[in-house]
Homo-oligomer: A and B are copies of this chain.
Amino acid sequence: MAKAANISGATVSRVLSGRTDISISEEARAKVLEAAKSLGYQPNRMARALVTGRTGLVGVWMSLHYSRYRSQVLDRMRALLGQTELAMAVTDIDEEYSWDHSFDRALRMPVEGIIAFDAEKSVEAFAKNSDRLAPRMPFVSMGAYWAHEKSYVGIDLRSGAEAAMDHLLGTGRRHVAFMAPANSGLLLRGARAESYQERMRDSGLPTRVLAAEGVRMDSVMQTLSDAIATDPKLDAILCMNDDLAIYTVFALQKMGIRPGLDIAVVGFDGIDEAEQCPCPITTVSQPASQMCSLAIEFLNAQMEDPSAEPQQIVLQPTLVIRSSSMA
């Protein structure tokens, strides 16, 4: 490229890097630009990254399974990173990690930092071995799962779940069940399931787990009718997320059961749809926007000074009470 423009490589670099802190003659700039255009020349990103140490990339590690909340968070991340000079590389981490128990593929991405969102299975494994896997890589976990060694923006789902249970038990519900997808591993473990169990046990009430085959109307309906047949007194359902809660409310209505009056329904996440439903849904709303902002802020701090102390914060979700659990 340099010789095509009959100009030194240094000048080419100065022009194409778009630097304003240095002065270049209009003549030289034009010559470079024209040559670049006619040759279809693009600077080699790897070579550039090798010398500058920067790629302008941030890795977002998360599960890409179908969930409105994840879509919403991803969208927020994109918007926020769009205001910076960083670009976003999304990696389906839990899937990969479950598959071969390695971060090999994920770490091929030449990122300057990593934000791991709700990455249940992999966050801890990565944080524990990060010295070996990616020394000094800026890393922030955000959401329901975090690693104590690194920066994180956690969300205290446990307190959220407790507030939800206090609300249900406090309004007189006694036959409360917990619903989660059958294959999620969240039926008996995790902040939501465990808080549910504790609160029920503390009140001397028996627990009941509802395993939905999938996050779909038909499976939720099936699960519900089985549950009601078994326990006709069922008067509240704590759903693991809003998608499930929305389906639950619709299914109940279809079965002629009044959500809120006959059976209370509470979800998690606080997606827009939970509010816009014909029967608005009580939910443990996660501060997604704040979480994303802070995660980016923490990541930036680590990127500017990789030896800086990790920043850690745990955000509180908010119980938003709506019709689906009103008396």
A220 to chain B, nearest CB (A): 11
A92 at the interface (CB under 8 A from B): yes
* Distance in Å: Cβ of A253 to nearest Cβ of chain B: 7
Across the interface, which residues of B come within 8 angstroms of A92, CB to CB?
Answer: 74, 78, 88, 90
A50 cross-chain contacts in B, Cβ below 8 A: 44, 46-47, 50
- Chain B residues, CB < 8 A from A278: 217-218, 221
Interface segment out of the listed A127-135, A141-149, A262-270: A127-135
Given the known interface contacts A46-B50, A217-B250, A250-B217, the answer about A87 and B68 at a Cβ–Cβ threshold of 8 Å is no
Q: Which of B57, B90, B110 contacts A90 (CB 8 A)?
A: B90
Which segment of A101-109, A154-162, A198-206, A227-235 sits at the interface?
A101-109
- Give Cα distance in the complex from A193 to B266, angstroms: 38
Nearest residue (CB) in B for A253 is: B254
Render A42-65 as a binary contact track against B, CB cut-off 8 A, 1 for contact: 101111011000011100000011
A90 and B91 in contact, given A216-B276, A250-B217 (Cβ under 8 angstroms): yes
B42 in contact with A135 (CB, 8 Å):
yes
| A71 interfacial by beta-carbon distance below 8 Å | yes
> Cα distance A89–B104 when bound, in Å?
13
Among residues 76 to 126 in chain A, which have CB atoms less than 8 Å away from a CB atom of chain B?
78, 82, 87-92, 95-96, 99-100, 104-106, 108-110
- A226: interface (CB < 8 Å): no
Chain B residues within 8 Å of A105, by CB: 56, 87-88
Contact between chains at A108 and B45 (CB < 8 Å): yes
- Indicate with 1 or 0, residue by residue over A24-47, a CB within 8 angstroms of chain B CB atoms: 000000000000010010101111
Q: In the bound complex, do residue A57 and residue B131 qualify as a contact, i.e. CB atoms below 8 Å apart?
A: no
Q: Are A134 and B42 in contact (CB under 8 A)?
A: yes
Contact A109 B89 (CB under 8 A): yes
Residues of B within 8 A of A15 (CB): none
Partner of A57, one of B108, B250, B273: B108
Q: How far is the CA of A5 from the CA of B89 in the complex (A)?
A: 35
The docked-state distance in angstroms from the alpha carbon of A105 to that of B90 is 13
Q: How far is the CA of A133 from the CA of B96 in the complex (A)?
A: 31
